[in-house]
Amino acid sequence: MATISAQVVREHGATRVTKCWLDESGPDASTYHGDDVRLDAGAYSNFLKAAGAGPDDTVVMSWVEWPDKATRDAGMAKVTGDPRMRFNDMPPVFDGARLIAGSFQPMPTDQRFSESIGL
């Protein structure tokens, strides 16, 4: 399903598709803070909680990169109408009601921007 989906979005204009399994052996959120502001590890959220994952669930994160908003909007209209995205003949592999989706814009990181905000 993931392979087919990645192929379809690329055919409709996406430049890159990235898929990742959650690595629970990685550091917890508390390690991203200095000792003087660090809270107890249980005070932070994580991907397991955000996804509502149970003990037998696996969290997957993926994202699709598009060259621009216009290409994304046109491409996603084609993707959602593409018959290959129906998957009716396949057993369900995830609970679509727990899917978390959103759109993001890259943050400018060039030197001029950094200087303009005093970095």
- The region that residue 52 occupies, defined by phi over 0 for left and psi between -120 and 50 for alpha, beta otherwise, is left
Six-digit token pair at 102?
Answer: 């959103």
DSSP string for residues in 17-70: EEEEE--TTSPPGGGGS-TTTPPPGGGS--HHHHHT--TT---EEEEEE-SSHH
Locate the domains of the chain by residue range: 2-22+58-116
pLDDT on residue 36: 86
pLDDT on residue 75: 97
The tens-digit pLDDT sequence of the chain (119 residues) is 889 999 999 999 999 999 999 888 877 777 888 888 888 877 888 888 888 888 888 899 999 999 999 999 999 999 999 999 998 888 888 877 888 888 988 777 777 777 777 76
Q: What is the pLDDT of residues 2-25, one digit of tens each?
A: 899 999 999 999 999 999 998 888
**0.85 surpassed by pTM:** no
pLDDT on residue 119: 67
